[in-house]
């Protein structure tokens, strides 16, 4: 009996380890590329390669940056850190029914050196549509 339980446990573990994450690649209307790996527990990871940047941080263009986020049903949210720009990009949106399109809103937050006197830093709000490639 113990042998059967051990064999079943080993089989389940090997299936969990060998199960590959679901990988999806999207491109928005500006040419930025989003690569998503859908993991267990509603988590996503992957990369984001921006095709646009502010005048203050042109070095972000074309650089693949890691993302981390979550997917619940068709709702998705992820963040990208740009340490060389002092910025964080947060994106939230919804997949269509076939997961071929994501309609998103984004908030780019740039750090401020003195929030009491400068205000809350630079904030840019965006809207993008990502299509599966």
Average pLDDT, the chain: 86
In the predicted structure, residue 120 carries a pLDDT above the cut 70:
no
> Do residues 100 and 94 make contact, with C-beta atoms less than 8 angstroms apart?
no
Which range of residues forms the domain containing residue 59? 21-132
> Do residues 22 and 43 make contact, with C-beta atoms less than 8 angstroms apart?
no
d(CA 73, CA 70) in angstroms, rounded, equals 10
Number of compact structural domains in the chain: 1
Residue 106 forms part of a structural domain: yes
pLDDT digits (tens, 9 = 90+) for 30-69: 999 999 999 999 999 999 999 998 888 899 999 999 999 9
In the predicted structure, residue 79 carries a pLDDT above the cut 90:
yes
pLDDT digits (tens, 9 = 90+) for 6-15: 444 444 444 4
Query: Residue 116 maps to which CATH number?
Result: 2.40.128.30
CA distances from 120 to 91, 101, 133 (A): 19, 32, 37
Residue 15 forms part of a structural domain: no
Pull the structure tokens for residue 29: 């209307």
- Written in H, E and C, the secondary structure of 32-88 is CEEEEEECCCCEEEEEEECCCCCCCCHHHCCCEEEEEEEEECCEEEEEEEECCCCEE
């Amino acid at each position: 009996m113990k042998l059967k339980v051990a064999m079943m446990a080993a089989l389940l573990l090997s299936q969990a380890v060998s199960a590959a994450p679901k990988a999806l690649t999207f491109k928005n209307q500006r040419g930025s590329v989003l690569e998503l790996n859908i993991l267990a527990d509603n988590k996503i990871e992957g990369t984001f390669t921006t095709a646009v940047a502010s005048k203050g941080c042109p070095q972000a263009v074309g650089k693949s940056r890691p993302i981390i986020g979550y997917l619940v049903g068709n709702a998705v949210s992820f963040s990208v850190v740009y340490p060389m720009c002092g910025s964080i990009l947060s994106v939230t949106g919804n997949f269509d029914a076939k997961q071929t399109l994501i309609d998103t809103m984004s908030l780019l937050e740039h750090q401020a050196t003195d929030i009491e006197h400068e205000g809350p830093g630079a904030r840019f709000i965006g809207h993008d549509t990502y299509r599966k490639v």
